[in-house]
Amino acid sequence: MKRFALLAAALLLATPALAQAPAPSAGGPRVPASRAEIGLSFAPIVARTAPAIVNVYAMKTAPRASNPLLDDPFFRRFFGDRGSPDVPGLDMPRERIQRSLGSGVLVDPSGIVVTNNHVIDGADEIRLSLADKREYDAEVVLRDPRTDIAILRINGAKGAFPSATLGSSDDLQVGDIVLAIGNPFGVGQTVTQGIVSALARTQRGITDYGFFIQTDAAINPGNSGGALVDGAGRVVGINTAIFSRSGGSQGIGFAIPADMVRVVLQSALSGSKVVRRPWLGADLQEVTSDIAEGLDVGRPTGALVQNVLPGSPAAKAGLKAGDLIVAVAGQEVDDPDAFGFRFATRPLGGSVEIGIVRQGKPAALSVGLEAAPETVPRNELTLKGRSPLSGATVVNLSPAVMEEMRTMGATKGVVITSVDEGSPAERTSFRPGDVILDINGSPITTTDDLERITRVPSRAWRVTLQRGGRVISALLPG
């Protein structure tokens, strides 16, 4: 008891000292100075931002997995076949409706909404439910799978909608308080609070531009596309993924920085059908401890230049293979993902200074900020027939396509952009980003070449392709 009394007395004596402690500089972090400050609430921030958060309902029609028994005419006599006049009403439906639920953020009073691409991917119908329970159909303005961002527009919009303000993710610091607003598990609009756990999380494998805000604010299924809001009520990120062993929040959530969202939004508002970003024209690789030792740079950091495409902005700036990129516009970069984010979020036009280390000496280069050119028509084709590539959609390779698909090394040929589910191409393990170089000894330079060769049946197919900078050759059955 005496020990407790002494401790209580010590705390009472210490309280005035804390209250009289010199206040930190304006705008800096500080401890609460009164009981009233301890009772502060986030309600004003929520009241200002929550009306701009919407629920996103996406629906698409998908073929139902077939029952092998129904392939037999004998069983079809008893169980029927939908659409068949023989035995109506006793069959299994040929199609089913898949529904996905996510969140979105109104960022313009005209009815422009930001959400995740994976929320609406493949949807035949998209419907939005606003915080005030109004519902609208929506159309896709622009999809950007590389960042997992999609821009939607409300159909039949009348009047002005509540909208949120995009902030700058570069203003965030680890430890800042943030709110996550969305519709987890479809229970309705929900607000959770946490802190910024980390910044510039890279190599998560979520999007091509891996540079995420990590937060411990609870993010769950259904929160995808919702807002991560700072203490001033600005949207600093779009919630996109969680790390979880159970499917629910475990205190590790990831948000796409607002600075990257702004790039996609500006492309959509300009009427572009693709996102226009600066193009470097060089392949980069991560720096390992062994590489750092060989470069004599002390620690594994930066992005190592593997090769430079002739005529690209990198080549014009004098960048060379073996250079180590360590900064963009004075901001350090730890790896290729960090460089990709810093470079891709620069506005087109003008130039940017990049810091490099060349042969152990620091230097600076001025790189032009220009979009990758479309030097040849894409001539998109979906291959058919009985070849292993049937079901693959391909386009001609150009710098613009190389930038979009992030192909490495290849400068000519035909690249796969998508693969139909269940197609021979999928079963043969072809994937988007594969560059087809040669088939049965014939070089492939255009999509017309590829279509002509795969139209002719063959007992075997020798396919040479480039994947992730590696050339692979495989013999496939006809």
What number of residues does the chain have?
A: 478
Q: Residue 272 gets which letter from DSSP?
A: -
Neighbouring CB atoms inside 10 A of 102's CB total 26
**Of 182, 189, 184, which is closest to residue 226 (Cα–Cα)?**
182
CA distance linking residue 461 with residue 473, whole number of Å: 10
Q: Which residues 6+ apart lie within 8 Å of 435 measured at CB?
A: 397, 407, 410, 413, 414, 415, 416, 465, 466, 467
Tell me if 216 sits within 8 A of 253, measured CB to CB.
yes
Tell me if 468 sits within 8 A of 408, measured CB to CB.
yes
Active site residues: 118, 148, 224
For the chain, the 3-state helix, strand and coil shares in percent, each to the nearest 5, are 20, 35, 45
The two tokens of residue 451 are 């279509």
Tell me if 194 sits within 8 A of 223, measured CB to CB.
no
User: From residue 17, how far is each of 14, 33, 147, 182, 287 by CA, in Å?
Assistant: 5, 11, 50, 42, 50
The DSSP bridge pattern shows strands 414-419 and 435-439 to be: antiparallel
User: From residue 7, how far is each of 11, 16, 177, 469 by CA, in Å?
Assistant: 6, 15, 32, 66
* Cα angle for residues 59, 61, 112 (degrees, 5° grid): 30
The two tokens of residue 222 are 């259904």
Torsion on CA atoms 299, 302, 303, 308, rounded to nearest 10: -110
* DSSP labels, 299-337: SS-SEEEEEE-TTSHHHHHT--TT-EEEEETTEE--SHH
**Of 244, 202, 195, which is closest to residue 220 (Cα–Cα)?**
244
How far from chain centre, in Å, is Cα 72? Answer: 45
The two tokens of residue 14 are 């210490």
